[in-house]
Amino acid sequence: MEAFAEQCGVSIRVLSDLEAGRRTNFSSRVLGRLEAGVGWPPGTMDQIVADPEFTPPGPEIGSDFLFRPPNYDRRPVPVDVAAVERAIAVLDGFTRKRSAGRARKRGSDAAHEDSAVDQIGAALVALSWPYVIRLVEDNCLPSNALHPGVRPLYETFLAISGELAPNDPSSRYAQWLAGDVTDVGETLRQRYTQRWTESRNVRRGRLAEHAEAED
């Protein structure tokens, strides 16, 4: 446990409290570090904290390379928005062609090809979700409405995620932010609200940095 706590950058007490279910008020930063250490997509820990019956996904491909990941700095890096938007456009076109072509393919070769494509697609979806989440967080009335100028991209990517990574927990958080789902338990709603509130603090920091850069 000590080695894993050190790897994730959290205290042993945090791991003990999480394992024993003694509390649920963990910060998004702590949960994010645990997700990165295990290799889970963002949002998985929210589900675990809120629902003891939730079964988390397997670690991401390569997360156990040489048994443990190196201790690189895991703080956020700038997102290349243009690259993510191009990736979303490519994924949208790909999923449309894939759906149309399924009817023409049969047998084990088609199944093997689908499996490989699913893995690649899920990885690209996980890469793109942080930008889409930030976009939705910055343009929503949480659990009520999403700005109409943002909704087309959000709905396009939601469909892509549903096709290629249906179990990615980021999808449910985004839908809650946009007001598209309301059937979330009280504990999960509190976690989502806390996560959105923390994102507002981060956004204020981004705006302050941008203002300083322009001065």
Where do the domains of the chain lie?
A: 1-50, 81-213
Q: pLDDT value at position 179? A: 95
Q: pLDDT value at position 87? A: 81
Q: If we measure between CA atoms, which residue out of 33, 58, 31, 57 comes closest to residue 45?
A: 31
Read off the pLDDT of each residue in 104-127 and give the average, rounded to a whole number: 71
Q: How far apart are CA 189 and CA 150, in angstroms?
A: 23
Q: pLDDT value at position 17? A: 82
- Strands 140-141 vs 145-146: parallel, antiparallel or unpaired: antiparallel
pLDDT band at residue 53, thresholds of 50, 70 and 90? confident
Question: Is pLDDT larger for residue 2 or for residue 150?
Answer: 150
Read off the pLDDT of each residue in 167-191 and give the average, rounded to a whole number: 92
Phi, psi at 39, each rounded to 5°: 95, 25
Q: pLDDT value at position 63? A: 43
pTM comes to 0.57
